[in-house]
Structure formats: structure tokens, C-alpha cells
Amino acid sequence: MLKNKRMTVTGGKGFLGHHLINRLNEYGCLSIDIADLPEYNLTDPADIRRMFDTTKPDIVIHLAAKVGGIGFNQEKPAELFYDNIMMGTQLIHEAWLHKIEKFVALGTICAYPKFTPVPFKEEDLWNGYPEETNAPYGLAKKMMLVQSQAYRQQYGFNSIFLLPVNLYGPGDNFDPHSSHVIPALIKKCMDAIDNHSNKLEVWGTGSATREFFYVEDAAAAICMAADSYEKSLPVNIGAGFEISIKDLTELIARLAGFKGEIIWDASKPDGQPRRMLDTSKALNEFKFKAKTDLTTGLNKTIEWYKENRHHLNK
């Protein structure tokens, strides 16, 4: 389906966007355009219309999002809700008005209820309220699923909704104010080594579990779904395993070369108790299965950070 198509990727300058565009180049697309700041403010309907009129896409892959870790979600819940819901709602509506062939919406694992049975199945998506620290973000992204299904039912509009788990890999966001757990831990380990510190402080108790999805695998999954998946039902994309934050922290410390003591700040929140996806639907519907194991992915991410950290820390 993607061959000879005009593609527009929102958020294409970002972490996932960079890897996705590299993968799309293998599909023989006619063109690949990026819709991102500062050229396009995707919360502004005028900019969205201008984007559609300028890039004239056949297919839109919507990656753009305002995101962050637990601290950022606690500080900016209103911004996270408003920016994400306005982007998704207006992009899908304008995509329908412009009669594009397909819209691929990227949701978030934060849309799942706080106490979803593990592994998370798509059928459990509406069985409770999301974990409080990231509910505004998760619910804003989840509204794209409601809109996608409503527009398919009423207008026959072809849109799909994918639910990726936590991403990581080369090119990740290492800004301590907004980064997620893996880049935050890598930076903390490297900073501690630089400062000759023998202590590393980490938020929470370490008991929460997470699943981590290597970014190049995520790009492959999105392309495969964009190419062949045509149904309204949401689909999880992930690696299909879980690891405790404690074990993850110890693994990153070992791979990064930090040999000191890890101190847990239990006054800080753990976030959702457990996260792991059931990824069987992605395998059944469009033959996707993750290829990169966690240790391999972490080593590649750590090496990338070592090579680029001085530029990033300027």
C-alpha cells in the first residue's frame, strides 16, 4: 500500500520520527513530508489546513505529541491534555475533509486503566481509569481511537490506532526535565561516573514493572500496520516482556559502568504498578514481532549517548 504514496509524518523531526522516516524510505514511497514545529503548529487549525494543502498526502502517520516522564506529567497536566487532544482531533477531521486514503494514529500505553491485568489486552482498554499521574495525556490520546472509530462508522474514513509501549533507543530525549526512565537513568549513571560519585538516586521503590520497545522495532511495526492493517480495532505494538525498574536500573548501571550504590527515593511515585502488552494481535494482523532484546538495545542506546552527550549537554 505504501509504494508510490505521498506520506506525511507529523512529529517527523522527533525521536521516533527520525527512525520511522528511515524505514519508510525502504517502501518506495513517492514522497515523505514532515509536519512539525516550527513550520507547523499542529494545535492550530489554520496550520493543519496549510499542511494538508502543501504536502497533499495520501497517508498521514501521526506521531506528534507533547510527552514526558512522571515529573513532567505532574507539572504540566493541562498542557499535555490540551495540546494532544487538539492535535489529534483536528488532524483526523481535516484528514477526512481532505479525503486522504489512510490515517495512522499513535496512541499510548498510558491510555490503559491503572490496574489492567498483565499482559494488557486491547479488550481491556476501557475497563477503568488510567494511572493518575499520566491520565490527562493518556485520555487525550485515547480520544483519537473514539474519533477514528466514529469517523469510520459514519463516513467510511480509513484510520487505524496503534498503542505503543515505552520506546527507547539512539536519539532518545535525554533532557532531565522531560525524559523517560531509560534515558534518564543512562544520563544519571554517566553523570555520576563523571563526578566520581558513588551514589545514584532513583525515584520510587523500584517495584513497578515496565516493558520497553526498541525504537527501530517500533518504526518497523508502524510501517507494517500502515501498509496492511485496515481495521478499527486498536492494536498493541511492543516487545512483549516486562522488567522491574529495580532490575532495569541495575542493568543500565552495569552496562554504563557505574559501580556505586543505588538509593531509592520512596517518597516519589512509582507510576502504574505494572505494564506489559499482549502483542499477539500485531503478529496475527500484520505479522509484526519485535527483534531487539533489551540488553542489545540498551548497549546501542548507551553507546549513542556516549558519542553525542557533549553536544546534547551544551
Q: What is the pLDDT of residue 119?
A: 96
3-class SS of residue 268: coil
Q: Which of 51, 71, 68, 72 is nearest to 60 (CA)?
A: 51
19 close to 215: Cβ distance less than 8 angstroms: yes
135 close to 111: Cβ distance less than 8 angstroms: no
Lowest mean pLDDT among 52-56, 71-75, 106-110, 300-304: 71-75
Cα gap 254→241, rounded to integer Å: 20
231 close to 238: Cβ distance less than 8 angstroms: no
3-class SS of residue 197: coil
Q: What is the pLDDT of residue 216?
A: 98
Residue 314: band (very low, low, confident or very high) from pLDDT cuts 50, 70, 90 = low
170 close to 306: Cβ distance less than 8 angstroms: no
- pLDDT average, residue stretch 291-297: 98
Q: Which of 19, 4, 11 is nearest to 223 (CA)?
A: 19
3-class SS of residue 19: helix
Q: What is the pLDDT of residue 101?
A: 98
Tell me the average pLDDT of the chain.
95
Residue 293: band (very low, low, confident or very high) from pLDDT cuts 50, 70, 90 = very high
How open is the CA angle 173-175-179, to the nearest 5 degrees?
60
Q: What is the pLDDT of residue 163?
A: 98
- pLDDT average, residue stretch 195-199: 95
- pLDDT average, residue stretch 196-204: 95
Superfamily holding 6-168+212-240+275-291? NAD(P)-binding Rossmann-like Domain (3.40.50.720)
Q: What is the pLDDT of residue 143?
A: 98
33 close to 8: Cβ distance less than 8 angstroms: yes
- pTM greater than 0.85 (yes/no): yes
Q: Which of 213, 214, 241, 231 is nearest to 285 (CA)?
A: 231
Query: Does residue 70 register a pLDDT over 80?
Result: no
Question: DSSP letter at 113?
Answer: B
Q: Where are the domains of the chain?
A: 6-168+212-240+275-291
Question: DSSP letter at 283?
Answer: H
Which residues form the catalytic set?
A: 137
Summarised one tens digit per residue, pLDDT across range 210-262 is 999 999 999 999 999 999 999 999 999 999 999 999 999 999 999 999 999 99
Q: Which of 287, 289, 229, 11 is nearest to 141 (CA)?
A: 11
